[in-house]
Amino acid sequence: MSSPGKTRLVFLGPPGAGKGTQAASIADKLGVPHVSTGDILRAAVKADSPLGREAHRYMNAGQLVPDELVNRMVAERLTQADCTNGFLLDGFPRTLVQGRALEEALNKMKTALDAVISFDVSRQELIRRLTGRRACPECGANYHVESLKPKIEGICDRCGAKLVQRADDSLETVENRLEVYQRETADLIDYYRGQNLLKKVPGDLAIEEVQRRVLEALE
């Protein structure tokens, strides 16, 4: 399904808010690419590219990769042909500097964001989700040991690969990532509120219900 409505989107929210899960299915519904900076960076690390070698140490410590690296990576991605009619950015921007760089990149392309969806989830629930998360290293699908089990334990439903716990989903790193999010993203939320782009959606409901609310917010 393609949509003539809001298709240039940012999904904002702390790690574990369900951005990735929602972004994958909503991008599919809207017929736009799901652009996840976390996925692009993990692929670069896996391929051992220069970007991956640079990003690796920040990612493992739960810290943000430097703005210039990520800004360049996203600006390049958005000029690819599949982004012409829209895109869903997941995990970017994460700082005010990145938000401004995105605006500039879109200005150059003579376009602008249509909406920013912000997912709200309690800290306790975020920790439960992240430390119980299992990810597919091949296709990027996410599962949870209690609430989103694959059909066969430890195996990805989509591609059959063996699921792993991400190195940055350990309790200590998760606490650090949540702190980083609070510190870096607060200004960004105000920035988008000021531009009248921000739409808040509760992220602690059932996956289908959250999806319904996101689509409603985009109408």
Q: Which stretch binds ligand AMP (CB under 6 A): 76-84, 88-96, 102-110, 200-208?
A: 88-96
Structure token digits, residue 115: 């909406």
Q: How far apart are CA 4 and CA 58, in angstroms?
A: 38
Q: Is 15 in the site for ligand AMP (CB under 6 A)?
A: yes
Q: Is 92 in the site for ligand AMP (CB under 6 A)?
A: yes
Q: Provide the minimum distance between the beta carbon of 20 and ligand AMP in the complex, in angstroms, as a whole number.
A: 7
Give the position of tokens 């938000």.
99
Catalytic site includes residue 19:
yes
Q: Is 103 in the site for ligand AMP (CB under 6 A)?
A: no
Distances (CA, A) of 45 to 53, 143, 155, 160: 6, 21, 22, 22
Q: CB nearer to ligand AMP: give 17 or 201.
A: 17
Catalytic site includes residue 94:
yes
**Reduced to 3 states, what is the DSSP secondary structure of residue 119?**
strand
Site string for ligand AMP, 105-134 (x = CB under 6 A): ------------------------------
Given a contact cutoff of 8 angstroms between Cβ atoms, the answer to whether 64 and 184 are in contact is yes
Q: Is 13 in the site for ligand AMP (CB under 6 A)?
A: no
Structure token digits, residue 130: 């992240």
| Residue of 8, 34, 77, 94 interacting with ligand AMP (CB under 6 A) | 94
Q: How far apart are CA 105 and CA 86, in angstroms?
A: 14
